[in-house]
């Protein structure tokens, strides 16, 4: 086979590789625990599993573009004592093979760790690749744990949290873009909200990419004299109901912010908890509202569909007014 | 994860008349179980009785006193509704007392119409949603390979089930991984809910499909005990990749009044059950 000169230029245009905080953490844990296996459905680089394949090829399996089969294989491996991590985009790990997730991981409570990338509106690849309903599906499954780290600083902790659960876990993860500022790794305690900012006027409950936006919103609100308490809800299930209820009672107003439909995800969880506890509070939910998006740049999409600090500010201002 | 010491809890029965006698007892049990509530897949159970007998009494390494023994062979009933014959077989093999069989499809009983792992470790996966069993089998066969275990994995798949796309994803993976420790038994009774399989979706050529996906195919009469044993021997002896035993079975086998009747859901009222039992006879033909 001959290769045209210069063809490599067209294979990858990326100047520098995206850091692999998740992939490195998984590989590190796998070196210490021989039960960990890595499965992938033809998305090695995009799910940061290429480095696993290079380092531990005998424990890496690319099953091809066949997510349903991947979940079934993972179930079989888990039943024989292994801890398989399966990797694909979030939309394909949930919507495409929900029945297999339910029957081969959740019902039997197997230690299959489902690692999904491209949450919500973080990809230009269009509706097929945009997981806007995955949290709703996964959190409603009995026995399933749902974790969404808020950024690179929680990636390693997300892997540890997944391993700490003796059962199926869904990891909803966003890879970093461009240059990553130096950071200090942070823990991700299951079932515990992380209070990132203290305030008495409004409680902002956020997850994933909406966490830094919530902090940005809190700064903007402070300039208007509105003090926001900000919670990072990386542990979506189990969820820290006490932190939500205590924060709601303390602030009297609640804003949720999620990179997802407001139905079924974080906004719904918070509404359910508040309503069942009978806590009188005003609530606004920031997120997609009964709509699909489209293929476009993530920044443009997040602006268009209101996944912004400004949207959080507007919701908080409305409640405070 | 280690293979554990080699053990064969019970000697493999190779005596064909003895195996036929077991299959006959299982057939009678299937009819008795289904007759109690008028529910259960009698046609399919009678058709598959010889497959189950060959697998559980001649082929697989299992220990009824220690059903989760890590070194055991794995059995997955992907057609998870064919439970009358499955439970009858498990009881006959000693996994639980036959006195529990009358609980079949009773409310609250783990002997559900679709096999659930609520039964215990002898139900290796919950497969009522068709098309999933072979994927789990690929995972189990792969696990045995990684762990260096001699355990083999057996999957019984229905022919209508081949219409599920996931079956072919799994078939492709098994062929690609050359999983010689994986044996699929295709229960080719040509019957699905909508009638004859080819009347729903044209399935032929079945053998060529599996060959094209990297499997060694052995076609047998699935009601011929000797042929089944030979096929299982050949599959076990093969080191190159997975084997698919295409076992042509006859629905209702053994009771002429229902033999070949193409009814997926057939109720068994007392009069019919009595007639079937009479035709089956007290002892093996």
Give the residue from A52, A108, A50 showing the smallest Cα distance to A80: A108
B79-114, pLDDT tens digit by residue?
Answer: 999 999 999 999 999 999 999 999 999 999 999 999
**What is the helix (H) or strand (E) element at residue A81, kind and residue range?**
none
Tokens 């077989």 belong to B89
B144 and A71 within 8 Å at the Cβ level: the answer is: no
A66 and B147 within 8 Å at the Cβ level: the answer is: no
Of B138, B169, B172, the CB nearest to A76: B138
CATH topology of domain A194-320: Rossmann fold (3.40.50)
pLDDT at B262: 83
Give the residue from A312, A116, A132 showing the smallest Cα distance to A216: A312
CA distance A191 to A265: 16
CA distance A223 to B99: 76
Give the residue from A115, A40, A37 showing the smallest Cα distance to A81: A37
Residue B169 belongs to domain with CATH number: 3.40.50.970
Label the pairing between strands A253-261 and B153-158: unpaired
Nearest-CA distance A183 → chain B (Å): 38
What is the torsion angle, in degrees rounded to the nearest 10, for the CA atoms of residue A164, residue A166, residue A172 and residue A173?
Answer: 40
Nearest-CA distance A59 → chain B (Å): 8
B140 and A71 within 8 Å at the Cβ level: the answer is: no
pLDDT band at B12 (very low <50, low <70, confident <90, very high): confident
Yes or no: say if A91 and A100 are a contact pair by the CB < 8 Å rule. no
* Residue B257 scores a pLDDT above 60: yes
Question: Looking at B144-240, which runs of residues are DSSP E strands?
Answer: 153-158, 182-188, 191-192, 195-196, 216-221
pLDDT at A178: 79
Q: Residue B98's CB: how many other CB atoms inside 10 A?
A: 14
Give the residue from B189, B214, B230, B183 showing the smallest Cα distance to B75: B183
The answer to whether residue B264 sits within a structural domain is yes
Yes or no: say if B244 and B217 are a contact pair by the CB < 8 Å rule. yes
Say if residue A238 is preceded by a cis peptide, omega within 30 of 0. Answer: yes
* Residue B2 scores a pLDDT above 70: no
DSSP label of B207: H
Evaluated on CA atoms B107, B110, B111, B116, the torsion sign reads: positive
* B168, closest residue in chain A (CA to CA): A69
Yes or no: say if A134 and A208 are a contact pair by the CB < 8 Å rule. no
pLDDT at A16: 67
The mean pLDDT value of chain B amounts to 93
Nearest-CA distance B254 → chain A (Å): 35
**Interfacial residues of A (vs B; Cβ cutoff 8 Å):** 35, 37, 58-59, 61, 63-64, 66, 68-69, 71-82, 84, 99-100, 103-104, 107-108
* A101, closest residue in chain B (CA to CA): B132
Nearest-CA distance A40 → chain B (Å): 13
The answer to whether residue B220 sits within a structural domain is yes
Contacts of B176 in chain A (CB under 8 A): 64
A73 and B173 within 8 Å at the Cβ level: the answer is: yes
CA distance A196 to A85: 30
Query: Which range of residues forms the domain containing residue B56?
Result: 16-64+76-280
Nearest-CA distance A38 → chain B (Å): 12
Q: Which overall architecture, per CATH, does domain A15-173 show?
A: 3-Layer(aba) Sandwich (3.40)
Model confidence, pTM: 0.94
Tokens 């994933």 belong to A208
Yes or no: say if B181 and B230 are a contact pair by the CB < 8 Å rule. no
Contacts of B130 in chain A (CB under 8 A): none
Here the tokens at position B138 are: 């690929």
pLDDT at B5: 45
The answer to whether residue B69 sits within a structural domain is no
Q: How many CA atoms lie within 13 A of A15 on its CB side?
A: 3
Contacts of B120 in chain A (CB under 8 A): none
B146 and A59 within 8 Å at the Cβ level: the answer is: yes
Helix orientation angle between B16-37 and B42-53, rounded to the nearest 10 degrees? 150
pLDDT at B1: 37
Sites in chain A below the pLDDT cut of 70: 1-16
Question: Looking at B7-118, which runs of residues are DSSP E strands?
Answer: 74-77
Phi–psi pair at B161, nearest 5 degrees: -60, -25
- In this prediction, residues B155-177 reach a mean pLDDT of 97
* Residue B215 scores a pLDDT above 60: yes
CA distance B224 to B235: 17
B235 conformational bin, left if phi > 0, alpha if psi -120 to 50, beta if neither = alpha
Tell me the H-state helices in A175-254: 210-223, 241-251
Could you state, in order of their start, the residue ranges of all structural domains in chain A? 15-173, 194-320
Query: For testing the chain B interface, which of A65, A75, A76 should be mutated: the one with the most B CBs within 10 Å?
Result: A76
pLDDT at A9: 52
Label the pairing between strands A36-40 and B74-77: unpaired
Yes or no: say if B166 and A100 are a contact pair by the CB < 8 Å rule. yes
> What pairs with residue A29 in β-bridges?
none
Q: Residue B265's CB: how many other CB atoms inside 10 A?
A: 9
pLDDT at A1: 42
Q: Which residues of B237-263 are buried (b: 16+ CB within 10 A; e: fewer)?
A: eeeebbbbbbbbbbbbbbbeebbeebe
The answer to whether residue B4 sits within a structural domain is no
The answer to whether residue B197 sits within a structural domain is yes
Q: Which residue has the higher pLDDT, B172 or B268?
A: B172
CA distance A251 to A272: 18
DSSP B132-155: -HHHHHHHHHHHHHHHT----EEE
CA distance A116 to A90: 4
Yes or no: say if B83 and B188 are a contact pair by the CB < 8 Å rule. no
Nearest-CA distance B125 → chain A (Å): 7
Contacts of B214 in chain A (CB under 8 A): none
Query: For testing the chain A interface, which of B67, B124, B135 should be mutated: the one with the most A CBs within 10 Å?
Result: B135
- The count of domains in chain B is 1
pLDDT at A224: 96
B117 and A108 within 8 Å at the Cβ level: the answer is: yes
Of B132, B169, B172, the CB nearest to A104: B132
This model of the complex carries an ipTM of: 0.92
**Longest Cα separation, chain A:** 71
What is the torsion angle, in degrees rounded to the nearest 10, for the CA atoms of residue A185, residue A188, residue A193 and residue A196?
Answer: 0
What Å distances lie between residue A189 and A3, A70, A281, B34, CA to CA?
51, 28, 27, 51
Q: Residue A17's CB: how many other CB atoms inside 10 A?
A: 9
B109-165, pLDDT tens digit by residue?
Answer: 999 999 999 999 999 999 999 999 999 999 999 999 999 999 999 999 999 999 999
Of B124, B135, B170, the CB nearest to A79: B124
* A97, closest residue in chain B (CA to CA): B166
The angle at the Cα of B36, spanning B35 to B39, to the nearest 5 degrees, equals 60
Q: Is B166 on the interface with A (CB under 8 A)?
A: yes
Of A72, A82, A99, the CB nearest to B170: A72
pLDDT at B268: 87
Nearest-CA distance A135 → chain B (Å): 23
CA distance A283 to B16: 73
B142 and A76 within 8 Å at the Cβ level: the answer is: yes
Nearest-CA distance B139 → chain A (Å): 4
């Amino acid at each position: 086979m001959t290769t045209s000169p210069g063809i490599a230029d067209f294979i990858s245009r990326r100047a520098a590789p995206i850091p692999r905080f998740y992939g490195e953490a998984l590989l590190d844990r796998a070196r210490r625990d021989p039960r960990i296996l890595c499965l992938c459905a033809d998305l090695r680089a995009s799910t940061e599993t290429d480095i696993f394949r290079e380092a531990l090829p005998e424990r890496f399996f690319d099953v091809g573009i066949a997510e349903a089969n991947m979940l079934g294989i993972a179930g079989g491996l888990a039943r024989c004592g292994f801890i398989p991590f399966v990797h694909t985009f979030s939309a394909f790990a949930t919507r495409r093979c929900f029945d297999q997730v339910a029957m081969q991981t959740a019902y039997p409570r197997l230690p299959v760790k489902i690692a999904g990338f491209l949450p919500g509106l973080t990809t230009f690849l269009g509706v097929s690749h945009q997981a806007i309903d995955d949290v709703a599906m996964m959190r409603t499954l009995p026995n399933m744990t749902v974790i969404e780290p808020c950024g690179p600083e929680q990636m390693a902790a997300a892997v540890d949290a997944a391993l700490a659960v003796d059962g199926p876990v869904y990891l909803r993860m966003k890879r970093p873009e461009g240059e990553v500022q130096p950071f200090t790794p942070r823990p991700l305690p299951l079932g515990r909200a992380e209070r990132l900012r203290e305030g008495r006027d409004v409680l902002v409950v956020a997850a994933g990419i909406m966490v830094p936006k919530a902090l940005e919103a809190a700064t903007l609100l402070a300039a208007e004299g509105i003090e926001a308490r900000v919670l990072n809800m990386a542990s979506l299930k189990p969820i820290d109901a006490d932190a939500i209820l205590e924060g709601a009672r303390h602030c009297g107003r609640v804003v949720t912010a999620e990179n997802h439909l407001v139905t079924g995800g974080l906004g719904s969880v918070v509404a359910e908890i508040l309503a069942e506890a009978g806590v009188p509070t005003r609530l606004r939910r920031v997120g997609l509202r009964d709509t699909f998006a489209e293929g476009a740049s993530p920044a443009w999409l997040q602006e268009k569909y209101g996944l912004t600090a400004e949207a959080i500010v507007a919701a908080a201002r409305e409640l405070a007014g | 994860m280690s293979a554990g010491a080699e053990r064969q809890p019970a000697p493999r029965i190779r005596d064909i008349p003895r195996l036929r006698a077991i299959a006959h007892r299982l057939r009678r049990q299937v009819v008795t179980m289904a007759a109690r509530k008028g529910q259960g897949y009698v046609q399919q159970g009678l058709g598959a009785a010889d497959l189950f007998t060959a697998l559980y009494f001649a082929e697989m390494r299992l220990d009824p006193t220690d059903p989760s023994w890590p070194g055991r062979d794995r059995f997955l009933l992907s057609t998870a509704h064919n439970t009358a014959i499955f439970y009858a077989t498990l009881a006959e093999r000693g996994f639980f007392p036959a006195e529990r069989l009358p609980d079949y499809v009773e409310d609250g009983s783990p002997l559900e119409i679709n096999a659930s792992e609520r039964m215990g470790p002898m139900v290796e996966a919950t497969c009522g949603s068709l098309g999933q069993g072979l994927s789990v089998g690929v995972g189990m066969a792969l696990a045995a390979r990684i762990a260096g275990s001699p355990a083999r994995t057996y999957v019984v798949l229905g022919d209508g089930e081949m219409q599920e796309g996931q079956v072919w994803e799994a078939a492709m993976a098994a062929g690609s991984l050359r999983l010689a420790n994986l044996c699929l038994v295709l229960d080719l009774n040509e019957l699905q809910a909508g009638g004859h399989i080819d009347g729903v979706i044209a399935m032929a050529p079945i053998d060529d499909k599996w060959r094209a996906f990297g499997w060694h195919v052995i076609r047998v009469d699935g009601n011929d005990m000797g042929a089944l044993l030979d096929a299982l021997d050949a599959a076990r002896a093969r080191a190159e990749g997975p084997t698919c035993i295409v076992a042509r079975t006859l629905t209702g086998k053994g009771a002429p009044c229902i033999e070949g009747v193409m009814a997926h859901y057939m109720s068994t009222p007392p009069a019919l059950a009595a007639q079937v039992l009479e035709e089956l006879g007290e002892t093996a033909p």
